[in-house]
Chains A and B, each alone.
Chain A
Amino acid sequence: FSGRTTVFSPEGSLYQIEYAMEAISHAGTVLGVLAKDGIVLAAEKKVTGKLLDLSVEKEGSYGGSGEKIFLLNSNVVAGVAGYTADATSLINYARSAAQQHLLSYNEDIPVELLAQRLCDLKQGYTQFGGLRPFGVSLLYAGHDPHYQFQLYHSDPSGNYSGWKATCIGANSGTAQSLLKQEYKDDISVEDAIGLVLRTMSKTMDSTTLGSEKLEFSTLTLDSTTKQPKAKIYRPTEIDALLQKHGLAKKDEDTEMAAA
């Protein structure tokens, strides 16, 4: 194999990019579904445990544990799969890129442009400098006045594409086929939330589906201001949502008492 990213393999591929994608296939699943009035993004956390300090999650005004789902700008939310440290670096770059656009054009960066900025950066690492690529795939859920709600996926090669529903990380193939069967073009955000939660419970271990393992977010349009509203759910809100959709963890003690 070649240790250099910038050199082709005999088969005509770039080994480092393939190895990066291999790393991502072991990472926590991230699922995104585009609805007519919003987008739903959910992710499986891998870093869990009783000793984990989650106080930031409870108090932080933007939600999220800082592992899977991040706010990039007021109009774009991203879900990451792969090396968390690489992802954090890309997230910071994306946030700066979004602000730079705002500074130059006095408008929120269009979603596709933001994806392109990141992809241009990622592609550079496959062709110049001899540095390894970023071991991260991202899902971008965003809204702009030009193309309304959009969902994009980008990978370590620097390629991106637009999707109605897609999945990255572990078990993404299974989730993708589940989505292909159930997805309808004119789905509402409410139904998309249900679809996402059901698909997540099938790809993850459903008996342990709870707020410790799940990150959840939606992007909708505020009915009065008509501005994009990103919501990254807090752990208590995720538990409530799971209860509502009948996917909450079964409390064994209560069941015993009922019997």
Chain B
Amino acid sequence: MSIMEYNGGSVIAMVGKDCVAIASDLRLGNQALTVATNFEKIFPVTDRIYIGLPGLATDVTTLRERFRYRVNMYTIKESRTIEPSTFAHLVSSTLYERRFGPYFIEPIIAGLERNPATGELSPYIAGADLIGCLNFAKDFVVAGTASDKLFGVAEGLWEPGLEPEDLFETISQTLLNAVDRDAYSGWGAIVHVITKDKVISRTLKGRMD
């Protein structure tokens, strides 16, 4: 029995044209027994940054609260909101602090990065392992019990330059079909599409098994 598989759950993030999407399942299990079908693993950090935390459920809550602490301190001291790339490094250092007794989470970060010179927003995604090694992918990042399946489907379905509506369809199909092949993920899904004006969150109708 692996600690990373105890509660189950998966998260994926994808890059589109001037937008990003992040999606997860909603299952919370106690090994094989499904205990909840409304366990959200993706949380807003700022208006333009979302973080997905798949893994051990207690660490999901704890890490979310720790990041809230650190981002609040950052915001209040710097008098500005944190950028995705800076936040990703904050995630990395928070995880590495516990190098020899880690949080059992592999975070996924998705957001829109502001260019300080031009003020333009560009899509940003990153993933990390449980001790903070960052992965700055240009296309998609995956994590959780269905990560292998997510890699496979995403590699097949993803293409660059997808508009928000198309990105939504692509990430939804990727998530749904990947988690259907994993016993520990599924039981509902939620997708957040982040564009420069707004964030649209939709719950998906999937197989409830």
Contacts and interface: CB of A to CB of B under 8 A. Distances in A.
A10 B81 CA distance: 53
B72 A99 contact: yes
Contacts of B77: 92, 95
A219 to B, nearest CB: 15
Interface string A51-65: 000001000111000
Interface in A31-72: 56, 60-62, 71-72
B72 A62 contact: no
A95 B76 contact: yes
A96 interface: yes
A96 B77 CA distance: 11
Interface residues of A, number: 15
Contacts of A131: none
A99 B73 contact: yes
A60 B80 CA distance: 7
B68 interface: yes
Contact of B65 (A60, A61, A73, A103): A103
Q: Which of B68, B73, B76, B81 has the most CB of A within 10 A?
A: B76
B76 A102 contact: no
Interface string A85-101: 00000001001100110
Contacts of A92: 77
Contacts of A207: none
A11 to B, nearest CB: 42
A106 to B, nearest CB: 7
A49 B73 CA distance: 30
A95 B81 CA distance: 16
Nearest to B62: A103
B118 interface: no
A62 B69 contact: no
B2 interface: no
Contacts of B86: none
A56 B77 CA distance: 12
B96 to A, nearest CB: 20
B73 A61 contact: no
B79 A61 contact: yes
Contacts of B66: 103
Interface in B48-88: 65-66, 68-69, 72-73, 76-77, 79-81
Interface of A: 56, 60-62, 71-73, 92, 95-96, 99-100, 102-103, 106
23 contacts: A60-B79, A61-B79, A61-B80, A61-B81, A62-B76, A62-B79, A71-B76, A72-B76, A73-B72, A73-B76, A92-B77, A95-B73, A95-B76, A95-B77, A96-B73, A99-B69, A99-B72, A100-B69, A102-B65, A102-B68, A103-B66, A103-B69, A106-B65
Interface of B: 65-66, 68-69, 72-73, 76-77, 79-81
Given A102-B69, A103-B69, 5 more contacts: A61-B79, A73-B76, A95-B73, A95-B77, A103-B68
